[in-house]
Amino acid sequence: MRFVDEVLVEVTAGHGGRGCMAFLREKYKPYGGPIGGDGGRGGDVVFVADTGLNTLLDFRFNRRIEAGRGEHGRGKGQHGATGDTKLVKVPVGTRLLDAESGELLFDLDTPGREVVVAAGGLGGRGNMRFVSSTNRAPRRVEPGLPGETVNLRLELRLLADVGLVGFPNAGKSTFIAAVSAARPRIADYPFTTLVPNLGVARVGEDSIVLADVPGLIEGAHLGQGLGIRFLRHLSRTAVLVHLVDLSDPRDPLEAFDTINRELAAFDAALVAKPQLVVATKLDVTEARERFAPAAAAFAARGIELLGASAATGEGMPALMHTVMALVRTTRAAAAAATTDAPAAADGAVETQAS
């Protein structure tokens, strides 16, 4: 399945039906009077976060979304039926932004969350609604109102606890394959991973979700390599695991700084996330020999360099317990900060402008 994480769509709610102008004509009722019914309301367009989806591929081929229009009113006081609501399923973590301004309208970051993106138009009133003491036979009706139309940019941001970052071929795909059931493409050349991969890792009685994004290179924020377009998928993670390939002749501390510069160029909040720095490929002789000097260089910066080999499993259980502990601590701190935040003013209601 192709991975699509950004699309443009046009969303149109249903138009309201028009009111009916009719007069009652039955035997023995010569003055039956007006009896035209109202038009039905147009259907809404509702987006819902669905855990069964993980890509926006369906919208690549269907960029126009419309709800049903309301039925027109009929004689004998029959009102038109309401138009069918259009329920649109999107992956959890989808953000709905205004296509022109880029303003965030909705964030479907919770499974099952529903939002009305475009409201249907009201139906018009039939002539039976305009009867008065001075106008017993009104010939006035109303047209239905048009439904709302919005142009949206759908942007998917994967929900994960841990994000794996590093240079291409640093061992991210091997790492996620070793700790989860994910089976990303693995090869001994750069840019094997072209789209993000998700994996669920069991750690004791708990589990965490890891996201493997394509590797970065120097100048990624300028479009070098695969650029930084996939880094948005790290924005919801609690912890970053920064993999450093010690079998690469590149200076590991320089590699670490380069990746962090690219993260900061995309979003300073990414660099502020807790990071675990892990030296990979310790099954390779050159990498094992370089581990001690590299650990000393990182220690001089106040950074602990962990070591593991995803290929042989050396150090992986202890590393995953460390990752799990940091995720728990970070999530707990974030929850506490949210709880301690000042409550909204009494009576304030969150609204979304049309």
Mean pLDDT, the chain, integer: 85
For residue 184, pLDDT beyond 60 = no
- DSSP string for 48-69: EEETT----HHHHS--EEEPPP
Q: How far apart are CA 74 and CA 334, in angstroms?
A: 57
3-class SS of residue 154: strand
Give the tokens for residue 326: 């940091």
Question: Is 166:176 a contact under the CB 8 Å cutoff?
Answer: no
Confidence band for 345, pLDDT divided at 50, 70 and 90 = very low
For the CA atoms of the chain, what is the radius of gyration?
29
Q: How far apart are CA 201 and CA 273, in angstroms?
A: 20
Crossing angle for the helix pair 285-300 and 252-266, nearest 10 degrees? 60
Where do the DSSP E strands lie in 181-260?
197-203, 206-212, 239-245
Give the mean pLDDT of 269-297.
91
Quick one: 221 exposed, middle or buried, by C-beta within 10 A (0-12, 13-18, 19+)? middle
Task: Average the pLDDT over each of 123-132, 289-298, 334-343 and give the range with the smallest value.
Answer: 334-343
pTM, full prediction: 0.74
Give the end-to-end CA distance of the chain in Å, rounded to a whole number. 35
Please write the tens of the pLDDT for every residue from 216-247.
767 766 666 556 667 888 888 889 999 999 98
For residue 63, pLDDT beyond 70 = yes
pLDDT at position 351 is 39
Three-state secondary structure readout of 83-115: CCCEEEEEECCEEEEECCCCCEEEEECCCCCEE
Please write the tens of the pLDDT for every residue from 286-334.
889 999 999 999 999 999 999 988 888 889 999 999 999 999 998 888 8
Confidence band for 187, pLDDT divided at 50, 70 and 90 = very low
State the amino acid at position 313 in one-letter form: G
Percent of residues, the chain, with pLDDT higher than 70 = 87
Give the mean pLDDT of 69-96.
94
Kindly give the pairing relationship between strand 206-212 and strand 162-165: parallel
Q: How is the beta sheet containing 239-245 ordered, strand by strand?
A: 197-203, 206-212, 162-165, 239-245, 275-280, 305-307
Q: Which of 242, 219, 258 is nearest to 319 (CA)?
A: 242
Report the sign of the C-alpha dihedral through residues 228, 234, 239, 243, in that order: negative
For residue 354, pLDDT beyond 80 = no
Kindly give the pairing relationship between strand 162-165 and strand 239-245: parallel
How far from chain centre, in Å, is Cα 226? 21
Confidence band for 121, pLDDT divided at 50, 70 and 90 = very high
Tell me the H-state helices in the chain: 57-60, 172-179, 252-266, 268-272, 285-300, 316-340
**Tokens 């094992």, residue?**
288
Residue 30 is given by DSSP the state T
Question: Is 176:268 a contact under the CB 8 Å cutoff?
Answer: no
Confidence band for 62, pLDDT divided at 50, 70 and 90 = confident
pLDDT at position 293 is 93
Give the mean pLDDT of 261-275.
88
Residue 187 is given by DSSP the state -
pLDDT at position 197 is 78
For residue 1, pLDDT beyond 50 = no
pLDDT at position 52 is 85
Return the higher-pLDDT residue of 215 and 206. Answer: 206
Side-chain half-sphere exposure of 274, counting CA atoms within 13 A: 19
pLDDT at position 216 is 76
Q: How far apart are CA 212 and CA 195, in angstroms?
A: 8
pLDDT at position 223 is 66
pLDDT at position 226 is 58
Please write the tens of the pLDDT for every residue from 189-200.
444 555 677 788
Please write the tens of the pLDDT for every residue from 136-167.
899 999 999 999 999 999 998 888 889 888 88
Give the mean pLDDT of 325-347.
73
Q: Which of 41, 44, 42 is nearest to 11 (CA)?
A: 44
Q: Which of 15, 13, 16, 33 is nearest to 125 (CA)?
A: 16
Kindly give the pairing relationship between strand 239-245 and strand 275-280: parallel
pLDDT at position 167 is 87
How far from chain centre, in Å, is Cα 336? 24
